[in-house]
Every structure is written in C-alpha cells, then in structure tokens.
Structure 1
C-alpha cells in the first residue's frame, strides 16, 4: 500500500506544471507569487463568496499578513491566471487514478476509453461583457463556459477549455482521429452528422442525443414500428407509427454530399415531456440492443455530477470583480480544488478497498485539505505523507458510497462496470 501511495502522489516532477497532450496548455509560472496558492485551500470548503474571504484565508496560512489592496493587486496580475492555469494542468495530468473498468461479461469492454463531452456556463460581472460576451445579453451580458472532455474509466478531465459563453460548443469536441477505439457520449448540443461520420471513419464510436427535428430516411427496423409502414420514409412522416411502450431501434441514412451516412437511431417516448428522445449511435446492435444503448447513455450523467461538485463544493462561482485575471485564476483554482478532492476519493478507494463517493468527498474533504496544504507549505515529505494517509483513513470511513448494491442494479455500474481496488 505504501509503495502505491509513494508512486501515486510523490513521483510528480518538481520542475513545475507539465503540458500533457489532451490537457489544457499550461502557461509559465516563473513570475507567480506564493500567495497564488491560497485559493486552493480557501475554496476547499466551498463557502468563499468574496475576495476578502480569500485574503483572510491567506493571512491565516501565511506568517505575514497582507492588506486587502495589495492582495487584490497581486491577483489582478496576468501571472496569477497563468500560474493557476499551469497548476490546473499539473494537477489534472498528475493526480489521476483509474477507478472503473468494464467486466469481461459486461458492456463497453471493447473500448480503451469512454469519453463524455459537455459544457457548463455561468454569468460573471456585467463589466466583463467585452472579454466574455454571454449568449443571453439581457439576462447575462457577460458569461463564461467550461468545455470538458471527461474520461469515464479514470473519472477525470482529459481536456478542459475556458471560453466566452458565445463560443460554439461543437468546436470543442475532441478531434475525430483521437477517438479510434473509444466511445464518445454527448448531449444534443454536440450533434453534428459530419463529425459523427468522421468519428466512424476513424474507427471510433459515438452515442449522441439528437434534436427533435432530425429527419433521416429509415432504412431498417430492429424493434418498434412495422417495417413495411416506415422503411424508405422520413422519420418526421412516421412519428405517429413509433412505439411509445418500448424503444424504437431504427437503422437510418442521411445524405452527406455525395455519400450516404448510415447509423442507428434509438427513439424512446418520454411521458413527462411528451416527446421522443432520439439517441444516434454506431454501436453494433448485436452487442447493444436498444435498452442497452439507453443504459450506456445514462452514464453521461456522471459529467453533470462533476459540474455540480464544481459549483456547490469547489466554489466555482462569479466573484464581484471586473478583472479578467482574477476571474480566470479563481476558475482554475476551483477546478484544482475539485480535482484534488476527487483524487483523494479515488485514492481512498484504491488503498482502503472501499467504494467511495466523490460527492461525499466533495462535501467533507475540507476537514482534511487544510492539513495537506500546511504539509505542502512545510516542504517536509514525511509530514505530507502522514497528512495524506490521515486523509485517506478519514475518507475511507466517511465518504463511502451509500448504496453500492443499488449502483450495480440501476446506477453507474448497471452497464457492467466494476470499481478497481488496490489489488486489481
């Protein structure tokens, strides 16, 4: 166990943040100041609402107090934002633990990676409308969006990009060539037929929700309506023929230039919205029947839980500042905090061999993170090791998953996934 911990947390390069393919590009940290580390500790409890809260936390950790004005001036420097971005790159690429794997008899075993794509936006101070224009100019004239590519096996970020809210979400999709042997899950805002065809051509797989207005030609029917009534017709023309009692599994075709793009559309009736939910995929029907496609797509909810952790328990929020460097720096600080908390949860699972909850860890890790920060500031490896192991022991007891059996029946493990422990 000690050897695993030593390799996992204490083997990082001491020469600063790394730039890793797939992770955000890190800036230089040569001109960063020591107080740039403070937001990480301050945000651990998720209760900081003002820059004054961050300053007071800094004064609690530093041997020398700093007044608010000079503290604000330090955070206003572009070097603060660059340093926090570099720190985020280092943390996201270093503190990674593989925590899930498909069982041999379960779904998804053929994929080296399962990636989830989504974005989360929030408003910032209106004075920043030129730097971060928002989509909803009346309600939120200034807003930012974080675009995330999420690795399901490691439950970690593969790539994150910070943009104005007006930037196109589809532009942040991973390159099609990078998805060979992988499966991509994404919501309807990422539906793009040309992109999906490119993914398939590169040997990748996709499972993407489509908009209500899609209108391909139905080529074949595996389940749902009678084939004789719908084959050769457009989807919009036969909506009344689709089953509302069970999933409709259709093979469809779209003309794309001189070529024709074939894939599956699994359409299920949602009684609450009184609409069909269309899932577009190239997963083979021989291994993934319609119900299995829907179960796999529900894994996309894991990235929504990540955004909830960011906003509720890592202090990802709009601070009252018109300084772009402060806005960016504090956003990266929140991502660092969330990544550290998840790393602690995953480490507790691997070391203590118990299934841990990242949400429970996000709520209670503030009890142990201050001791870790103090140990880091002391530059004493033994003290850091002791603080880390105390954190693991605490989370192994207080952050266990509440219903592991339910997870296997209807939760994230229902597709055949299994948690990885230390001896795996």
Structure 2
C-alpha cells in the first residue's frame, strides 16, 4: 500500500523481526564490526558506534490470492541512534533515503509521529471519539469540536501547571488527560466564577432539570396506569 501510494514511513524496528543486513550504508574506520550478512539484533549489543545505518531484507506475507498466500522479501533502511543513558540503540525502519535524512532526523521524525499517536489515543480514550451514539452529522461535528476545544484547554492548563510546579516533577500526557477529565466540573465552576458568571441556585437547577419536559405529556407510569385501569375495573 505504501509503494502504491508513493508513501513514506518511519517505525520502530521490532526485535521479533530481526532482519538480515544486506549492506552497510555508512563506512566506519578502525576495527568496526562488519554487519553485512548478520541479523541486526544478533550484533547490536556488541556495537558502540554513535549511529547504525544499514540496508536490511524483510520477509513478509503477501495478500491471499485465489486461496493461496505467498511470501516475499523487500529491502528497507534501518537506522540506529545510540541512547547513551540506557546504553542501547533505538532502531528505526524506514524507506526514506540516506541522501535526504540523517539518522538523527529519523529519530526526530519518529518522536513527532509518536506524539501524534498519543494525541489520537487521548482523543479516543478520554473524549470517546472512537465511537459515537449518533449518526447525525451535525451532532458528530459538535462532539468533535467539543473534544478538540477541551483538548486545547487541557494543554493550556498543563502548560500553566508545569510553569508553576517544581522542575523535578513530571506530568505524563495520558495521566494529565485523565486528571483533567476527572476535575472538569470543578475547573468549569472555578472558571465561570473567574469570568463573572453566576450559576443559578442549586435548588432552582434541580427543580428545572427534574420536572416533566412537556407538561401535557404524561410519563410512562401514568400511561400504563391509564391503560390498565379499565381492564382492572372490568
């Protein structure tokens, strides 16, 4: 699908794939360990170079056709960026060219891509955008705008919290999203007071919300009582 649409991708290389290196795209001086012909994860722990930049061959299943499924191979670029703190490599597989993208560029692209993934996951888990209880277009649009506006407010408030919190504190985005959602009513109440909006008294609000929507429309119990009464009298 990527080739058919002239697309590009960057993804973390899973250890379970462990592809064979077919070519080294970067030369190293001295006693560099040769990688060609070896499986990448079999040798990566023995390396200490800053970057890995190689071509690998991936084996994959083709789409099933006429009841049969065949396997094929394709070559991709694998880049490794050393994480000095963890003393290991972050490995990425991509079809982006070496001439245009350096290893550190691919690591940056992946971090940005991951932020987008987290954003969509937050929208689905915290704002329920993965499912709608309506098929009406205007209702769906309202829910989308409400979720996006809530997300903007959440992020702005997070920036304010980070600004005033201790520098050593860390606020994971997903945990913050859940915290913001659980305190949403309190935040709205405080915000309305700050903006000078006075909500109606609680008792008046309860009376307004609990009464019949239409005074001329009997509730279900009254309808049932009316329907059953003649039969009972008979």
Q: What TM-score, normalized by structure 1, do the two folds share?
A: 0.26
Larger radius of gyration between Structure 1 and Structure 2: 2
Q: What TM-score, normalized by structure 2, do the two folds share?
A: 0.44
